[in-house]
């Protein structure tokens, strides 16, 4: 039986301010036909190639972080039974840990492309082992990552010690501080990244605060001197050809997003991720 | 077969910031069980009494007002075939005309409870016969209203002539200017209103600008000296016992709703309307 | 020769978002015909009765407050030569002092209806004799006011001494603290006010912070527990019959007016003031 | 030795936009002299009567709610050793539970004046016993409250069952639903409240969402049809004469407070609370 | 007789927050003297070279798009009789069609420099032939453009088919997708553009959404990855030497312009356009 | 005796939304231990090298600019007696004049690195010699600057005459117009700057409007086409090695800073300035 190729609700079928609010205006339960969406820059035709849908929100426990982490892990265990590539919108960066745990059960150790202003490798925060700033230290300790195939891009901000980013380097990560990205295209960097993280399954985790506050003000810990939106697009487009088995876009915080443009940016970056998933046709 | 009693998605099942964004958090296509919502002031149990759902948006033509009006009328013709009580969220006040046209085909002339800062009985605007300020003059001319059973509440603002509100009065409408409402409960007024509009099917049309800008800033033509939210609730609760065959809440304009509280108010008023529909049980 | 009866630019002639931005959409240099604006509550027909126009802004010195005060006084000296009733939009409350000085040269001592959260009778601020909080003490000292014909309405907020409002009372002012206004119509108060301030020329000075922040958030020193917009309208409408020789509306601060509704309120109150000027016909 | 009577930093000593941002502009560690602040409506002279200071924030654990509750309780145990009356700014309503626990160790069971849109007597939320909606059920179960001396004012909103407010009533609480407060002064109600809760130590807990969103939009769960700011002032002023041993003002949420006026309101209500503490002189 | 060289109202004559709000602070009906405004980067002295004034808004029909288009065309027919170069501020991109129709009657086919995120060459939208996304297809079909002298710069966003931009290319347009502009000065591109569109009259149409949302958030259909403000200035400055016979700046949407900086940007770009009009002296 | 090395309040000791609001979260009167803050890009360890504290605000006279200037000068005279390097947050650019006067008494003529959209070398504004646009002309006339060691970076905007920036050049200043900075790193420029201004004490004055409105919208006179945040960081980091004897960051205007990110940017730039002060260790 043919798989159903869901299509985003077209702007000429329903005005853009109308219709159900879903990820990429995709159907929740209904199928739609006769519409394609193309990435005009890369020619990618994602909705022509795969069956994409919004499967709703995970009902977390908002009062207990550890329980929320448990709920997310169980939800992704269930999701991954269906052999899908999960694309997740956060939520703070804590959510990547339970997702990586579920991913590990299915795919084993994975490579990682991690865009962020912060390394998120603290040992603890206020005494807690699980928090949005400890995600990738826990992931390493739990053996979820293939450390030689990990890249962190966009790191900056003040640190508590001069060695803050060195923990990452000691694990074998390639750390690309923001200063290394200033004033240039990241297309050449991505050639190096593909070389580094290729050869196995890769997870893409994009913290919106990797991008400079001019483009992404709506986040909890903005840091100056960050990536441009164009560089963000170059990073994601530069992931084409990798064996992406999941991705997320985290730390968009609507109350701080006074113009709504951070949400718009997040939605667009998710669309760009969709366009580089394995199996997407290019016209 | 029993009808399905849909329930709003409970705040303890899914965090309030999660889940699909539907009217009153009602299902689009799925049923839910085990949850009731009660109006704590009146004891009304609407979801326990009737089958309520969000059936989505009408896909209007945003570039041609007359065509949009045609599309809306056809959509309501189809909706009303199912013997439902349509509750509509606007959109500007133009939409009430095609809804009343469809209502008229099914129910004949109807009474009207109309809350608004403006009478909306202009003959034309920029030469156009159909516009948000002409709705009720057209409705009268087309014979859609039982003019002796019409009440307009909250009228104020400057007028082009001293007779602006007199056209309404000449049709037999009861016009309650805002000044008549100042500093008091509208419960006594509503006894008079029920007397006036009862005895047949009644449509309730609520323009959010009937309410003062302190409570409803997010609208296109705010006018000072308006109703309070409490008075709005008294008006709606005072409609209990009427044979309501439809209602709308119009003129919420999100771009002007900088705190989001006008939308919140609109949603709450719609819920209050639901609680006074015929057949809703009280506990 | 007949005087020219300027009319506001009608919303059906030019969309409300278009046209030159003038006070009450009145002409700057051009006349217009065929349009009247009526106050639907009081029947006042101001544009049918008098020649009203926006004569532009006074070009103050923004770096030197005393010089700005001098410039304003000279501008009003010139304006008052034309036997007009100046209606002024501020600016902070400092501007009322030079206006009262110019008024005094023409009309002698005047009565005053002063709506405000603050008495503005400090002796000095940061050592300065002229500032927005000293206006009415200076006015008394300079003999500009007929102190037995002065009323201050809406006073509240914390004070530096328990006697803060007593200075006003010692001058013979009627002080109406906000608490005296709570939960009721001010129509009865205004009968008393007309009795107190009548019998001679009266100036009306309305500080928008007299109104509660729910209606007037866009001001520099908002104070809770203030007047409602409806009470403000009652105060102004209650001035009908007084010999008003000038009025102002001050302390609207656009940067703090995030919804624009404080500006809208200010414009409407100015319109209400226009409707009670001597000589305005009622239909 | 005389106690030090700290004074708020005066607006004529330091411009209001300058100086350290403390509660009521009180000193952190320094003393100040020669300034009093009077409540112009009630004549209360709080800074003339007692030693008031801002002792800073409790450093909670933001990732673990139960641990945060533990930290708060320990902090208040320490604070209460100094025989002070703690005035607390939240934070969500969860914080009242650890404060009441510490209060109980010192004062035993206390009466309660609780202003809120919600009863906060859920048994659990997302399976958690401790959360902002369960505070007062836990307080009852833990024997912290003298249930016959508890009043809840302003309750409204939808409920999950028609009996939602009945749990409170069964404990002996006086429940004043918002509808009981509409259109009138609450001074008479407060005479009843003083009768009900007097005769022992009383805690005052004010959830800003008890007030209507027109005045307090900056909160997480706004509900229409609430108290006015004036009624809030009447409630607090009506607590004069009670043996208040602590109070709080909770649920102000700055990200939703787009004009800053909810924060301003919260600060003013705290000042009103200060003015009714036992021992405050009136001039 | 010498033409009158109107000057913008100087910031040292009238504070920038005062005076009538006109385009570039130019007079409406009055002349001013003794002030020049120079472009400090290019030395252009526009107000020293030509007579510039704001001639007000076209009073469109807001309820009927086709009628609005008719009104605009007639207004420009009248304007162009005076041999002026019209500079227009929108309004959505629909307005360029009636302007081009009027331009065509006077100048014949014109070249076009079109900056935009979207090609605006749809055949129809919601079944309508005239809409903001069909402007340039209609212009081609009506023979208004010299297709070999048309350039579109900044195109991006998703498309309905992979061929979306190819329609433009088939007409002979030079299409410069946004990606071609990333990370570099557009001065070299503009040399190519002048070569392409020169040799006849040229119209310049600038949709503000051609610029990235970081600089121009206040628009209806923002798209990520766009031009920088600096590139926009390079494009306009690069038009110097062309025979510009009209220009517009469209799609600024104040309700979405929460900081006001999109309007500020639009005003500055219009000033830059003025500086490159034929006949402007350089010092 | 060892000097006390104050440390910023750590985000893991007190949540970032808690604690007293001081510059760089430094103590006001208390010392703290065990925490360092490193600049992750340059390795600078400012709090490990010097004693840094927030000494509060200068209590200016808000109603008299000349008196405010006098108060500031006296405050800095007193501050400089303690041999500190003052880092100042404005306030408008007027404050740099009294600071330079105090600096001059201690250090004699100084070099200047001045980042700004405007040269601030007007002779007068509205007839006043002291204003935010005249600061550096007054500083030259008063002999406060070593004119051969002055650089102005980022100048742009319209001018009243084509010679506006030439006055600076005539004094010997190096003027770097914004156009000279477009599309490139400013590291090479800063080598030239160090050459130009070195060899003596240097003051660094940073007007936030030197930066483009995309990054710094919250300021009074934003100008398009400005520096990027990254270039701002390059300028400040490029000042390392200079004998900086004071610095300021001026013209952040919170009412226009709708997202708060301009304030965040200002705080970060101040931190970057701290990192390049003489004597700061690098690890």
**Tens of pLDDT, residues A165-177:** 999 999 999 999 9
Please say if the pLDDT value at position E34 is more than 60: no
Please say if the pLDDT value at position C98 is more than 90: yes
Q: What count of other Cβ atoms lies within 10 Å of the Cβ of residue F155? A: 28
Q: What count of other Cβ atoms lies within 10 Å of the Cβ of residue A246? A: 27
- pLDDT band, very low/low/confident/very high, at B28 (cuts 50, 70, 90): low
pTM for the structure as a whole: 0.94
Contact D177 B41 (CB under 8 A): yes
- pLDDT band, very low/low/confident/very high, at E274 (cuts 50, 70, 90): very high
- Is E281 near chain F, with CB under 8 Å? no
Per-residue tokens: F121: 């070398």
Q: How many angstroms separate the CA atoms of D150 and D21, rounded?
A: 34
Q: How many angstroms separate the CA atoms of E163 and E181, rounded?
A: 20
Please say if the pLDDT value at position B130 is more than 70: yes
- Is E256 near chain F, with CB under 8 Å? no
pLDDT score, position F81? 92
Please say if the pLDDT value at position E21 is more than 80: no
Contact C126 F256 (CB under 8 A): no
pLDDT score, position A244? 98
Contact E15, C62 (CB under 8 A): yes
Q: For residue C62, list chain E residues with Cβ-Cβ distance below 8 A.
A: 15
Nearest to F140 by CA among F150, F132, F153: F150
**Residues E45-71, mean pLDDT to the nearest whole number:** 89
**Residues D136-153, mean pLDDT to the nearest whole number:** 98
- Tell me how close the Cα of E206 comes to any Cα of chain F, in angstroms: 16
- pLDDT band, very low/low/confident/very high, at F30 (cuts 50, 70, 90): very low
Sheet hosting strand A145-155, strand order edge to edge: A87-89, A243-250, A201-207, A110-115, A145-155, A174-177
Please say if the pLDDT value at position A39 is more than 90: no
Strand partners, D158: B39
Contact E36 F160 (CB under 8 A): yes
Q: Which of F10, F41, F268 sits opposite A177 (nearest CB)?
A: F41
**B165-198 per-position pLDDT tens digit:** 999 999 999 999 999 999 999 999 999 999 999 9
- pLDDT band, very low/low/confident/very high, at E3 (cuts 50, 70, 90): low
Contacts of A141 (CB under 8 A, 6+ apart): none
Question: Which residue carries 């006077």 as its tokens?
Answer: E106
Contact D28 F15 (CB under 8 A): no
Contact B106, B80 (CB under 8 A): yes
Contacts of C138 (CB under 8 A, 6+ apart): C97, C129, C130
Please say if the pLDDT value at position A37 is more than 80: no
Secondary structure (DSSP) of B13-30: TS-TTSS---GGG--SS-
Contact B38, D162 (CB under 8 A): yes
Q: Is D82 exposed, middle or buried (0-12, 13-18, 19+ CB in 10 A)?
A: exposed
Q: How many angstroms separate the CA atoms of A274 and F217, rounded?
A: 33
Least reliable range by pLDDT among C206-220, D95-109, E42-56, F64-78: E42-56
Can you say whether residue E104 is alpha, beta or left, with left for phi > 0 and alpha for psi between -120 and 50 degrees? alpha
- Is A10 near chain B, with CB under 8 Å? no
Contacts of B200 (CB under 8 A, 6+ apart): B109, B110, B111, B146, B149, B243
Greater confidence (D23 vs D174) lies with D174
Contact F238, F195 (CB under 8 A): no
- Is B103 near chain D, with CB under 8 Å? no
Contact B57 A19 (CB under 8 A): yes
User: Do strands B158-159 and C38-39 pair parallel, antiparallel, or not at all (unpaired)?
Assistant: antiparallel
Q: How many angstroms separate the CA atoms of C153 and C116, rounded?
A: 6
pLDDT score, position E159? 75
Instruction: Enumerate the H helices of chain B as residue ranges.
Output: 46-49, 65-80, 96-107, 135-141, 166-171, 187-197, 229-237, 261-275
Contacts of A82 (CB under 8 A, 6+ apart): none
pLDDT score, position F155? 97
Q: Give the residue on E whose Cα is nearest the Cα of F227.
A: E230
Share of chain A above pLDDT 70, in %: 89
Sheet hosting strand D145-155, strand order edge to edge: D87-89, D243-250, D201-207, D110-115, D145-155, D174-177
Q: How many angstroms separate the CA atoms of F113 and E83, rounded?
A: 49
Per-residue tokens: E175: 């299409």
Least reliable range by pLDDT among A267-276, D198-207, E154-163: E154-163
Please say if the pLDDT value at position C222 is more than 90: yes
Secondary structure (DSSP) of E137-179: HHHHHTT-EEEEEEEEEEE-SEESSTTTTHHHHHHTPEEEEGG
pLDDT score, position E31? 33
Instruction: Enumerate the H helices of C37-175 as residue ranges.
Output: 46-49, 65-80, 96-107, 135-141, 166-171
Angle between helices D229-237 and D261-275 (to 10 degrees): 20
DSSP state of E107: H
pLDDT score, position D159? 75
Query: What sign has the CA pseudo-torsion F113, F118, F120, F123?
Result: positive
- pLDDT band, very low/low/confident/very high, at C28 (cuts 50, 70, 90): low
- Is E12 near chain C, with CB under 8 Å? no
Q: Which of B160, B212, B217 sits opposite C36 (nearest CB)?
A: B160
CA gyration radius, chain E: 18
Instruction: Enumerate the H helices of F51-157 as residue ranges.
Output: 65-80, 96-107, 135-141
Least reliable range by pLDDT among B15-24, E220-229, F170-179: B15-24
Average pLDDT, whole number, for chain E? 90
pLDDT score, position F67? 96
**Residues D65-92, mean pLDDT to the nearest whole number:** 94
Contact B226, B117 (CB under 8 A): yes
Counting runs of H as helices and runs of E as strands, what totals does chain F give? 8, 8
Nearest to E137 by CA among E161, E157, E118, E153: E118
Q: How many angstroms separate the CA atoms of C224 and C178, rounded?
A: 10
3-state SS assignment for residue C89: strand
Nearest to B67 by CA among D52, E66, A184, E27: E66
**F82-134 per-position pLDDT tens digit:** 889 999 999 999 999 999 999 999 999 999 999 999 999 999 998 999 999 99
Q: How many angstroms separate the CA atoms of D116 and D122, rounded?
A: 14
Instruction: Enumerate the H helices of chain F as residue ranges.
Output: 46-49, 65-80, 96-107, 135-141, 166-171, 187-197, 229-237, 261-275
Q: Which of B35, B38, B264 sits opposite D162 (nearest CB)?
A: B38
Average pLDDT, whole number, for chain F? 90
From the candidates C166, C175, C214, which should be mutated to test the interface with D, based on the most D CB atoms within 10 A? C214
From the candidates F13, F14, F15, F56, which should be mutated to test the interface with D, based on the most D CB atoms within 10 A? F15
**Residue pairs between chains E and F whose CB atoms are closer than 8 Å:** 72
Please say if the pLDDT value at position E35 is more than 60: no
**A51-73 per-position pLDDT tens digit:** 888 888 888 999 999 999 999 99
Average pLDDT, whole number, for chain B? 90
Nearest to B122 by CA among B162, B176, B160: B160
- CA distances, F139 to each of F64, F101, F146, F176, F207 (Å): 20, 8, 10, 19, 16
Q: First vs last Cα of chain E: how many Å apart?
A: 25
Sheet hosting strand C174-177, strand order edge to edge: C87-89, C243-250, C201-207, C110-115, C145-155, C174-177
pLDDT score, position E94? 98
Question: Which residue carries 């001679």 as its tokens?
Answer: C200
Greater confidence (A160 vs E227) lies with E227
Contact D98, D73 (CB under 8 A): yes
- Is B256 near chain C, with CB under 8 Å? yes
- Is E165 near chain A, with CB under 8 Å? yes
Least reliable range by pLDDT among A228-232, B230-234, C128-132, E3-7: E3-7
Strand partners, E202: E111, E244
Q: For residue D177, list chain B residues with Cβ-Cβ distance below 8 A.
A: 40-41
**Residues B80-104, mean pLDDT to the nearest whole number:** 95
Counting runs of H as helices and runs of E as strands, what totals does chain E give? 8, 8
Determine what percent of chain D falls in helix, strand and coil, rounding each to the nearest 5.
35, 15, 50
- pLDDT band, very low/low/confident/very high, at B103 (cuts 50, 70, 90): very high
**Residues B46-57, mean pLDDT to the nearest whole number:** 83
User: Do strands D145-155 and D174-177 pair parallel, antiparallel, or not at all (unpaired)?
Assistant: parallel
Find chains touching chain F: ≥3 CB pairs under 8 Å.
Answer: A, C, D, E
Q: How many angstroms separate the CA atoms of A2 and C159, rounded?
A: 78
- Is C256 near chain D, with CB under 8 Å? yes
- Is E83 near chain C, with CB under 8 Å? no
DSSP state of F260: S
Nearest to F183 by CA among A246, E183, B282: E183
**C190-201 per-position pLDDT tens digit:** 999 999 999 999
Contacts of F166 (CB under 8 A, 6+ apart): none
Per-residue tokens: E263: 């309007």
User: Do strands D243-250 and D201-207 pair parallel, antiparallel, or not at all (unpaired)?
Assistant: parallel
Please say if the pLDDT value at position C55 is more than 60: yes
Please say if the pLDDT value at position B33 is more than 60: no
pLDDT score, position A156? 95
**F130-187 per-position pLDDT tens digit:** 999 999 999 999 999 999 999 999 999 877 777 779 999 999 999 999 999 999 999 9
Question: Which residue carries 């040229």 as its tokens?
Answer: E202
Per-residue tokens: F65: 């600019």
Least reliable range by pLDDT among A184-188, C278-282, D269-273, F32-36: F32-36
3-state SS assignment for residue F38: strand
Contact A179 F43 (CB under 8 A): no
pLDDT score, position E32? 30
- Is B255 near chain C, with CB under 8 Å? no
Q: How many angstroms separate the CA atoms of C184 and E92, rounded?
A: 48
Q: How many angstroms separate the CA atoms of C86 and C90, rounded?
A: 12
Greater confidence (E80 vs C11) lies with E80
């Amino acid at each position: 039986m043919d798989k159903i190729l869901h299509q985003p609700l077209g702007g000429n079928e329903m005005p853009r301010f109308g219709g159900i609010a879903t990820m990429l205006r995709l159907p929740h339960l209904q199928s739609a036909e006769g519409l394609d969406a193309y990435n005009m820059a890369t020619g990618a035709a994602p909705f022509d190639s795969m069956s994409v849908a919004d499967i709703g929100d995970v009902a977390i426990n908002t009062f207990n972080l550890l329980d929320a982490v448990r709920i997310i892990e169980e939800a992704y265990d269930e999701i991954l039974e269906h052999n899908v590539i999960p694309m997740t919108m956060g939520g703070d960066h804590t959510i990547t840990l339970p997702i990586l745990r579920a991913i590990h059960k299915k795919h084993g150790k994975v490579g990682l492309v991690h865009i962020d202003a912060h390394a998120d490798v603290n040992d603890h925060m206020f005494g807690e082992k699980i928090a949005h700033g400890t995600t990738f230290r826990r992931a390493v300790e739990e053996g979820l990552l293939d450390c030689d195939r990990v890249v962190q891009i966009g790191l900056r901000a003040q640190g508590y010690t001069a060695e803050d980013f060195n923990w990452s380097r000691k694990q074998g990560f390639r750390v690309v501080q923001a200063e290394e990205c200033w004033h240039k295209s990241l297309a050449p960097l991505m050639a190096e990244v593909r070389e580094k993280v290729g050869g196995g399954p890769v997870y893409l985790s994009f913290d919106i605060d990797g991008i400079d506050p001019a483009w992404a003000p709506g986040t909890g810990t903005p840091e100056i001197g960050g990536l441009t939106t164009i560089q963000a697009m170059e990073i994601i487009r530069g992931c084409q050809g990798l064996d992406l088995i999941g991705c997320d876009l985290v730390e968009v915080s609507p109350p701080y997003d006074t113009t709504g443009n951070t949400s718009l940016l997040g939605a667009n970056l998710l669309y760009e991720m969709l366009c580089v998933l394995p199996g997407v046709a290019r016209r």
